[in-house]
Structure 1
Amino acid sequence: MANPASHVSFLPPILTFCGAAVIAVPIFRFFGLSAVLGYLAAGIAIGPSGLSLVGDPGTVATVAELGVVLLLFIIGLELKLSHLWSMKRDIFGLGFAQMAITALCLGGAALAIGFGPKASVVIGIAVALSATAIALQMLEERNDLQTPYGQRSFAILLFQDLSVVPILAILPLLSSGIATAESSILERLLAAGEAAAAIAAVVLVGRYGLNPFFRILARTGSREVMTASALLVVLGAALLMEEVGLSMAMGAFLAGLLLAESNFRHQLEADIEPFRGMLLGLFFMSVGMSIDLALVQRQWTLLALAAPLVIAGKTILITVLSRLFGATWREGLRSGTLLCTAGEFAFVLLPVATGAGLMSQGDAQTVTALAAITMLLGPVFSTLVERALLSRPERAEASGMVDLMGQEGELSSRVLVIGFGRFGQIVNQVLLSQNIDATVIDSNVERVRDAARFGLKIYYGDGTRLDVLRAAGAEKAEMICVCTDNPETTERIAEIIHGNFPNARSFVRAFDRIHAVRLLKIGIDYQIRETFESAIVFGRSALEELGVEAETAAGAALDVRKRDIARLFLQKEIGASYGTELVVGARITPEPLTSPTGKAKALSPETRDILGEGAL
């Protein structure tokens, strides 16, 4: 039998990471700094150079890299191929210019201070890359990903990620020489063919297989299965790309991009988000743990000069290049400060270069420390510039542009409708009649298919989950209509909306009078019982058919409606003030709105028994 202690041996490091995060991140957020900086500081504190609570940072590096993988998957979900194609000038123009010019400048600087030619090339390329995880996390915190400078920054990052693959292929050429390269040209062609085949496989499966796959799983109604399938897709694509020599992050991004137009997009995003947040925080802590303070102390003069120069130099270059590609000076500066750090791929390229003999182990450690320091200081610099550069009105205006730049209006729906049954369908018909496009959430696969015929934006998802509502745009919606047919489900959604989305007006379908009173106590803006208005119209039509004038029948219906509303709110206030009838288990019972003119008459023996009347 296994030693019981072996089953809990993994708990101390988990508790260490969680404890460091919950202490450091709130402190840095309290001072208005990025959460990224808190994670980096926490990593330094618990790492080998700090308290040595975690002796070997490499043990968590592989798991931590999954945070970057999941981040790129979610970014892919928020894009579409058509939108990505519209960014081609920024990706391949601005991205290439930034990479080439920055690498040339930094490599030249390394050569000037004494590094060898081959080492200088590696240093220039490695430090020219920017930290994708840090930049995207900060854009997300600022809600700026869809702004012009956010889109240009993302285009540069995307080109950098794409360039990692050819860079890894070029590095061996620098050490082996042309003759060796020519002898292995067949191997390289085979490797390129494998990479192309892997990309084609991901595209084909994503285009034709994933939607039917998720549709089948959705019919099971199991939330856990959907979460497992989401992780299967992301990690499967990442592993396939890694096996053929490509970036895991690029595989995940490609998978997300292919699912961007899927009906299951919001549910997938909600399922992945908790894992993404935890693992990305772990990645930042692993970067902090990789900083060797002893090496920093020995090389402090070089690092103290190099780190600020790298940050300032990259900021200036990106600002100027962004301006040349149509950005304003302000937008260019914001992109420059965001991308001024070295990137996480530096920790991949430098060991490869050392193994290929392009640079010594000591030089690689120095550049690794430099990259980590820029990742530590960059977010601070970016935050300070952001505060100095943008006044509050300008910040609000920039944040408001998100609504205008959503993916084909996807993030700018004014109305979110939860439930697409018989009630929700009619609500959407009325909205569509005035050209108001709503985003619809439903967990029934057949209803998702039905909504496609309406031309609506509808996504498979559980409306009782806060993360699904947020992913569907509830925080930006002007109105949230709850059209579900289960009273308990409706109440649960109403409570979530009331507690988390105060800016959205809540319109809720009530089951009956008792349900309506409970909803009013929650604090919704508007409710209607699903059969009340139809019954009022039915009664009015019956009066007219019986010979009552139309105007009189309409007045009678209006009078009943007014009396009912008055009594409904009275019952709500009585319940809220006293609540005795609810404590003892009594129920709100139907009451006549006008005094009866006569006594009820039972017309059968069974009815007299029910009413408690004696035999006639």
Structure 2
Amino acid sequence: MHGEAISPVMSDALVILGAAGIVIPVFARFRITPVIGFILVGVLVGPYGLGRMVFEYDWLTWVTITDPQRLEPFAEFGITLLLFTIGLELSFNRLWAMRRMVFGLGALELLVIGLLLASFLGMMGQYWTGALGLGLALALSSTALVLPMTNQNSAVGRAALSMLLFEDIAIVPIIFTLGALAPYAGADGLGGLFTTVWQGVLMVLAMMVVGRFALPRLFAQAARTKSPELFLAASMLVVIGASLATALVGLSPIVGALIAGLLIAETEYHAEVEGIMDPFKGLALGIFLITVGMGIDLSTIWNNFGPIALAVVAVLSLKAVVTMVLLRMMGARPSTAAETGLLMASPSETTLIVLAAATSALLIQPGTAQFWQIVTAIGLTITPLLAKAGQAIARRVEPLPEAATLGEGPDEERVVIVGCGRVGRLVADMLKVHGRPYVAIDSDTDLIDRCRRDGYNAVFGNAARPRSLEKLGIERAPAVILTMDEPVLAQSITRKLRSAHPDLPIIARARDTGHAAELYRNGASTAVPETLEASLQLSEAVLVELGVAMGPVIASIHEKRDEFREMIREGGALEHKPKLRTSTLERG
């Protein structure tokens, strides 16, 4: 087959899916974010890489993308989904718990670095609006890269999280401002700008009012069908509808996606929406990053190596130093300040989004945007090296163990109850009696509505998806309790939880002793067969009626329960009935 007969769409799909299938597993094996891999793939397969040789070697058509414009619609959709998921991840409760660090340290870090960079760029001849956009864009740090590299319960992790949270919040006004400026960036009059602003504000307010009433009902109806496809369709409808609504009044579609995410984050369906959208967001973001890599001309880097290297060093050094100084001023240890400063030094994947928005707003020229895209791509690529350097410097600066002297402690540890039916409610009641915090999760929206009305802490979500449980803080949970009457699902969840969390206590409800044996084989810490418990409770009632003292009765019941549990663990379902141990009863 000749190259001209190959469908460009099929060829591009082959490259993208091949990149996803190779990059993600390979980079995950080395614990490196796929963000770097996608950028490098873009450089390799783009028009400035192997794409240069398509006319010489026909077969390269299958593994290259020579026209990046074909991917632009998909890249824009990837950006939209990224901003939508940022909105989903912003929890008001989490923000309130870390408010001092988020709105203190986070705000100072972004504004000080952004204004300093803008001042330097202004002195180099950039007009003030473009300098401000560039400064704020370069001041951002990578949430996708930084958070997986840190322990969020450590001082470094909490400091980085607080700054990244504020940056995620700041995306809203930054993108809003660029979107409002876009149609009139080259005009002297302010009338059109004011029109866009007031229409945009009205549209945003209307979306917030309508969304608060309409979104819970929309997702409740989708959840009742128990169809993942319909739930996905509803999620996509909200994202695209909100994006088009803001685009109609002259704002960027990204603003609508952000607002949609923030609104859904306030509903009990946010974890399920994020879980179901996550694979699509990852692939769409990968397409965006590939297009970024395709825009990097290695010959341009070579010909402008000096200015590019100087810009990379200047941006990284300024961000690292300012972050270190601010952390020290807020009482952080020298080791914490050094490690966090280097970790937060590189730009963000969101920087590329802001650069694209500033370019479309005519605030900066395409050539300027390409220069800073190259700087950002290089910064993203070396972020893992910066993290390693930060750890090494921290050990040299202060070899003592790091003390938790900065910020608030980790989020509250809660028992996770899977299932909000009769058994789940009873377990929640007993936990409340003893002052133990909990959260219940169920995929039945009617059950969730009833539980919330009755005062239970319940959220909507599919526990079979690991992402849903991660959002509930499963890594910090003292225990997980499986209460649903679905044997196959209980075994599947138990197996996945045990594989991901070897030390997590898993207490599971079982239909009978055979099901309990299966749960033990799949990793349950304790399996409670309903038939066996009913028999033990019946025995207890009979003995009490016969006049046996309550203390010995309870002791014998516990003894018998332990005996049966050990038999189930060792031999599966009960095949014979052991003789009763009468010593305890005789003592009564």
TM over 0.5: yes
- Tell me if 1:475 matches 2:481: no
Structure 2 contact 332–406 (Cα < 8 Å) conserved? no
The offset of 1:77, in angstroms, is: 2.6
Query: 2:13 — aligned with what?
Result: 14
Structure 1 contact 77–259 (Cα < 8 Å) conserved? yes
- Tell me if 1:387 matches 2:356: no
Aligned residue for 2:390, secondary structure, equals helix
Aligned residue for 1:221, secondary structure, equals coil
Between the aligned partners of 1:261 and 1:89, the Cα distance in structure 2 is: 24
The offset of 1:286, in angstroms, is: 1.6
Query: 2:59 — aligned with what?
Result: none
Between the aligned partners of 1:507 and 1:202, the Cα distance in structure 2 is: 43
Residues 420 and 402 of structure 1: CA distance in aligned 2, closer, same or farther (over 3 Å):
farther
- Tell me if 1:347 matches 2:369: no
The amino acid that maps onto 1:382 is: L
Query: 2:86 — aligned with what?
Result: 75
Unaligned runs of 5+ in 2: 52-63, 581-588
Between the aligned partners of 1:37 and 1:398, the Cα distance in structure 2 is: 32
Residues 262 and 288 of structure 1: CA distance in aligned 2, closer, same or farther (over 3 Å):
same
The offset of 1:289, in angstroms, is: 0.9
The offset of 1:18, in angstroms, is: 2.8
User: Once the two structures are superposed, what CA deviation does each residue of 1:112-170 show, in whole Å capped at 9, x if it has no partner?
Assistant: xxxxx54x7635632541386x7010133225677123212332454355234435656
Between the aligned partners of 2:65 and 2:215, the Cα distance in structure 1 is: 40
Unaligned runs of 5+ in 1: 112-116, 573-587, 596-616
Structure 2 contact 323–337 (Cα < 8 Å) conserved? yes
Structure 2 contact 355–369 (Cα < 8 Å) conserved? no
Residues 569 and 404 of structure 1: CA distance in aligned 2, closer, same or farther (over 3 Å):
same
Aligned residue for 1:440, secondary structure, equals strand
Between the aligned partners of 1:286 and 1:66, the Cα distance in structure 2 is: 13
The offset of 1:88, in angstroms, is: 4.1
Query: 1:507 — aligned with what?
Result: 507
Query: 2:528 — aligned with what?
Result: 528
Aligned residue for 1:73, secondary structure, equals helix
Structure 2 contact 87–258 (Cα < 8 Å) conserved? yes
Query: 1:122 — aligned with what?
Result: 130
Q: Equivalences for 1:135-534 in 2 at 5 Å?
A: 135-143=142-150, 147-156=158-167, 158-159=169-170, 162-167=173-178, 175-176=186-187, 180-181=188-189, 185-320=190-325, 334-335=340-341, 337-341=343-347, 343-344=351-352, 345-350=354-359, 352-353=361-362, 363-364=367-368, 367-368=371-372, 370-377=374-381, 379-380=383-384, 382-390=386-394, 404-406=409-411, 409=412, 412-413=413-414, 415-453=415-453, 455-534=455-534
The amino acid that maps onto 2:450 is: D
Structure 2 contact 342–389 (Cα < 8 Å) conserved? no
Between the aligned partners of 1:401 and 1:329, the Cα distance in structure 2 is: 12
Comparing 508-517 and 65-74, the one that deviates more: 65-74
Between the aligned partners of 2:432 and 2:471, the Cα distance in structure 1 is: 23
The offset of 1:481, in angstroms, is: 0.9
The offset of 1:212, in angstroms, is: 2.2
Structure 1 contact 21–42 (Cα < 8 Å) conserved? no
Between the aligned partners of 1:173 and 1:555, the Cα distance in structure 2 is: 80
Between the aligned partners of 2:65 and 2:35, the Cα distance in structure 1 is: 19
The offset of 1:498, in angstroms, is: 2.4
Structure 1 contact 217–226 (Cα < 8 Å) conserved? yes
Residues 506 and 553 of structure 1: CA distance in aligned 2, closer, same or farther (over 3 Å):
closer
Between the aligned partners of 2:559 and 2:166, the Cα distance in structure 1 is: 62
User: Once the two structures are superposed, what CA deviation does each residue of 1:13-41 show, in whole Å capped at 9, x if it has no partner?
Assistant: 12212323444455555666443222211
Between the aligned partners of 1:278 and 1:399, the Cα distance in structure 2 is: 37
User: Once the two structures are superposed, what CA deviation does each residue of 1:368-392 show, in whole Å capped at 9, x if it has no partner?
Assistant: 5544554455525533433324559
The amino acid that maps onto 1:224 is: E
Aligned residue for 1:441, secondary structure, equals strand
Structure 1 contact 76–260 (Cα < 8 Å) conserved? yes
User: Once the two structures are superposed, what CA deviation does each residue of 1:325-369 show, in whole Å capped at 9, x if it has no partner?
Assistant: 67666555525652543721223323543xx8x75x6x5366355
Residues 136 and 399 of structure 1: CA distance in aligned 2, closer, same or farther (over 3 Å):
farther
Structure 1 contact 307–370 (Cα < 8 Å) conserved? no
The structure having more radius of gyration, on CA atoms, is 1
The amino acid that maps onto 1:148 is: A
The amino acid that maps onto 2:389 is: V
Between the aligned partners of 2:296 and 2:482, the Cα distance in structure 1 is: 51
Comparing 86-95 and 519-528, the one that deviates more: 86-95
Query: 2:55 — aligned with what?
Result: none
Between the aligned partners of 2:446 and 2:161, the Cα distance in structure 1 is: 37
Between the aligned partners of 1:556 and 1:45, the Cα distance in structure 2 is: 71
Residues 221 and 394 of structure 1: CA distance in aligned 2, closer, same or farther (over 3 Å):
farther
- Paired residue total: 552
Structure 1 contact 417–424 (Cα < 8 Å) conserved? yes
Comparing 247-256 and 520-529, the one that deviates more: 247-256
Query: 1:611 — aligned with what?
Result: none
Between the aligned partners of 2:502 and 2:425, the Cα distance in structure 1 is: 25
Structure 1 contact 419–441 (Cα < 8 Å) conserved? yes
Query: 1:98 — aligned with what?
Result: 113
Structure 2 contact 84–257 (Cα < 8 Å) conserved? yes
User: Once the two structures are superposed, what CA deviation does each residue of 1:505-548 show, in whole Å capped at 9, x if it has no partner?
Assistant: 11111111221222222232111112423432322322443456
Between the aligned partners of 1:150 and 1:242, the Cα distance in structure 2 is: 31
Q: TM-score, length-normalised on structure 2? A: 0.81
Residues 546 and 268 of structure 1: CA distance in aligned 2, closer, same or farther (over 3 Å):
same
The amino acid that maps onto 2:161 is: G
User: Once the two structures are superposed, what CA deviation does each residue of 1:572-606 show, in whole Å capped at 9, x if it has no partner?
Assistant: 2xxxxxxxxxxxxxxx67644449xxxxxxxxxxx
Between the aligned partners of 2:18 and 2:404, the Cα distance in structure 1 is: 33
The amino acid that maps onto 2:35 is: V
Between the aligned partners of 2:425 and 2:512, the Cα distance in structure 1 is: 20
Query: Identical aligned pairs, as a percentage?
Result: 24
Aligned residue for 2:524, secondary structure, equals coil
